[in-house]
A and B are shown apart, each in its own frame.
Chain A
Amino acid sequence: MSAAIVFASGDDARATAIGDVMTGSIEIAARQIPLPAGDWTVVASGTNALVTGSPGAYGTIENAILARRADGRIDGLVEINVNRLPVADGWGTAADCNRTDGLATVAFYKTPVDGFCLFVVPTELGTVNAPGPRTWDFVRPLLHETAAPTPVWLTAGFRVSDRHDILDVRYHLDPRAFGLGNLTVSDWSVEAVLTKPDRFKAVNQLTAWGSLAAGPVEDGFRGAMTGRAAAASLPNAWEVAVLKEGTAPSADPLGRTSRSARLAALDELVESGAIAASDHAAYLKAIEDAPPPPTPDDYYRLLGAKVVSFNFFRVSVDYILAFVVTVNSLISGYITAAIVATHSVAQVFNDMWWDSYIQAQASAKSTVVDFVYIGVRREGVS
């Protein structure tokens, strides 16, 4: 980063100082944030404010912005928000995790007290009056110090939180890195992206990259990135192969709970002498034989089996009752068919109504906690 960087005000107690050049990861308030390849300079550091939600007495929200320079211009920004004081009952989710118009949204898990999600959205941060936290005032001029920046950037964001702490990290990438030029926000709507193969590919690359980065982000949130994991950079999103439907991922998932990482940890235990080789074989087999985590498909498969078994019972009872009354197999068949048809339709509409009701209830109860973000316009924030 050049000497033209304007230094924002910062906390002297902060481990990372403005101007520090980071590779691999950065640590803020005991949370480690993985970084894509390259040198990332801390260009601003300060505190942020909540714009929605009330998680309790959280002290201050630490905010930092890192920038990477390539070919004389900034091609990537990392925006980080973490809490200083722990709360008791969780932090809720981010509005971007609930968006229905986002380019991609993945909820890795979500409960009332913790959550982890990935979202891919366009962010209009390249305009001269792009809003943001106070620290953004020091970074915005850097974007405009050379040629006019791309107005709309692509953002892959993560929100991970538990009962006590939160990490909100947003990786803003210049679409030019994906071979895309100046586009407007409407050009990045889902409908527009679906009609343009180059944009579709970029979004898929960023989503695939997000899936890869998710493990290290969660590890870093828990301060569990150690050794090589903390030093290794994430790949650049435009270098990630897009996963084709029906094919296996070309790269193993990252993160300490991934299967490959767990097997590697087991190997290290043997090498260090912590476990005997014979025991290693037993553990290895158990980990390799362990069933994969359940998926929504598993749930729906079970639900389908449940519906089929119950309906078989119901149809049988309907037919028997009809036959007892009519003593006519044909009429009993018609009655049973009529009951099945009407009940099936009624069941579908009943399920739809209850699903909608439950979803509305869940949304009403869901706590959204958001900070001031770069390029995000909200009421009362400019």
Chain B
Amino acid sequence: MRTLSRPAAVAGILVGLLSATAPATAQTVGSVVSGTVEVAGKQVPLPAGDFTVLSVDNVPARLLKSGETTERLDLGPIRSVTLAQVVEGRIATMVEVAANLIPYYDGWGTTADCTRTDLYAAISRFKSGWDVSCLYVKPMSQGASGGANPGGTVLEAFAQAENASVTDFWVVAGLRAANRQDVVDVRYHVDPASLGVAASAAGAAAWEPAVIEQDPSPPRRCEERGCLGRDRRGTA
């Protein structure tokens, strides 16, 4: 897909960015949703409160295998929707959802994060050659060592418009659910401050799983994220 515009990396199997406009029936940028959001016909549960739709894009699917990434345009475009929530002057939660627009006959596979062994949690509820349901919880830093803010410029613009601050350190609870035909990939980015734990990219080392194991407090927060994931996975 060399002719496609705006390629951008997103961790996992489904990555990339393709410029396009959303159909009238889809989520529109700026709309406010709560409870659930529908993306490419899949209903995705949201944490409590109102969420603003920041972006609606279509991205090409990419297959990550043995460290090599291959574009798979034959899987059709993937709908990608980003939402965010402001609580007490902070972007408390940002949600990224990706789901297929065109069904496939042979399954979609898991996401690399679900197979990692260096995270707080990576739990495969079930996994076969054709279906998967898994959850992972991981830290994500912004900055020189952590890369770009997961929400990109749209999140920064939204925060500016809402006069809200954006953390440079997130805890991410991600879920992948796929059957033989369809897939949905959800990443709940949570500002640790909204859990009552101040955190920043500068202090990201304190959130390394090995460090966490020695500290009873942050793991409890992490567990809360894990519990959130467990609650979500059955309905996502």
A-to-B contact residues, CB < 8 Å: 109, 111, 113-114, 162-163, 222, 224, 256-257, 262, 265-266, 269, 272-276, 278-279, 282-283, 285-287, 289-290, 293
A162 and B131 within 8 A (CB):
yes
Minimal beta-carbon separation of B101 from chain A (angstroms): 6
In this complex, which of B18, B77, B179, B182 has the most chain A Cβ atoms within 10 angstroms of its Cβ? B77
A162 and B77 within 8 A (CB):
no
B102 and A275 within 8 A (CB):
no
Interface window among B20-28, B136-144, B147-155, B197-205: B20-28
A275 vs B19: C-alpha distance in the bound complex, in angstroms? 8
A265 vs B130: C-alpha distance in the bound complex, in angstroms? 22
Residue on A nearest B23 in the bound complex, by CB: A272
Residue on B nearest A284 in the bound complex, by CB: B73
A-B contact pairs, 6 of them (CB 8 A): A265-B102, A265-B103, A269-B77, A274-B22, A282-B4, A287-B76
Within 8 A of A (CB), among B156-190: 179-182
Judge if B58 is at the interface, Cβ distance under 8 Å: yes
A113 vs B23: C-alpha distance in the bound complex, in angstroms? 36
B-to-A contact residues, CB < 8 Å: 1, 3-4, 18-26, 58, 72-74, 76-77, 79, 101-106, 126, 128-131, 179-182
If the complex has contacts A113-B128, A257-B104, A279-B20, are A162 and B179 also in contact, measured as CB distance less than 8 A? yes
Minimal beta-carbon separation of A281 from chain B (angstroms): 8
Minimal beta-carbon separation of B11 from chain A (angstroms): 23
Q: Which residues on A sit within 8 Å (CB–CB) of B19?
A: 276
A274 and B26 within 8 A (CB):
yes
Dominant secondary structure at the A interface: loop
Minimal beta-carbon separation of A129 from chain B (angstroms): 41
Minimal beta-carbon separation of B9 from chain A (angstroms): 18
Q: Which residues on B sit within 8 Å (CB–CB) of A286?
A: 1, 72-74
Dominant secondary structure at the B interface: loop
A114 vs B131: C-alpha distance in the bound complex, in angstroms? 10
A274 and B21 within 8 A (CB):
yes
In this complex, which of B24, B25, B73, B131 has the most chain A Cβ atoms within 10 angstroms of its Cβ? B73
A238 vs B63: C-alpha distance in the bound complex, in angstroms? 44
A266 vs B128: C-alpha distance in the bound complex, in angstroms? 28
A274 vs B23: C-alpha distance in the bound complex, in angstroms? 5
If the complex has contacts A163-B131, A266-B102, A274-B21, are A282 and B1 also in contact, measured as CB distance less than 8 A? yes
B20 and A276 within 8 A (CB):
yes
A274 and B181 within 8 A (CB):
no
A272 vs B20: C-alpha distance in the bound complex, in angstroms? 11
B102 and A113 within 8 A (CB):
no
Q: Which residues on A sit within 8 Å (CB–CB) of B106?
A: 293
Identify B23's interface contact among A273, A282, A283, A287, CB under 8 A: A273
Q: Which residues on B sit within 8 Å (CB–CB) of A113?
A: 126, 128, 131
Minimal beta-carbon separation of B14 from chain A (angstroms): 15
A98 vs B54: C-alpha distance in the bound complex, in angstroms? 52
Residue on A nearest B2 in the bound complex, by CB: A282
A275 and B58 within 8 A (CB):
yes
A269 vs B182: C-alpha distance in the bound complex, in angstroms? 17
Q: Which residues on B sit within 8 Å (CB–CB) of A257?
A: 103-105, 181
A224 and B181 within 8 A (CB):
yes
B74 and A272 within 8 A (CB):
no
If the complex has contacts A275-B18, A275-B58, are A269 and B103 also in contact, measured as CB distance less than 8 A? no
Q: Which residues on B sit within 8 Å (CB–CB) of A111?
A: 128-130
Minimal beta-carbon separation of A98 from chain B (angstroms): 21
B74 and A290 within 8 A (CB):
yes
Minimal beta-carbon separation of A261 from chain B (angstroms): 8
B77 and A283 within 8 A (CB):
yes
Q: Which residues on A sit within 8 Å (CB–CB) of B104?
A: 257, 262
Q: Which residues on A sit within 8 Å (CB–CB) of B102?
A: 262, 265-266, 269
B101 and A282 within 8 A (CB):
no
A265 and B20 within 8 A (CB):
no
A287 vs B18: C-alpha distance in the bound complex, in angstroms? 17
A282 and B58 within 8 A (CB):
no
A279 vs B4: C-alpha distance in the bound complex, in angstroms? 6
If the complex has contacts A279-B4, A283-B76, A286-B73, are A274 and B128 also in contact, measured as CB distance less than 8 A? no
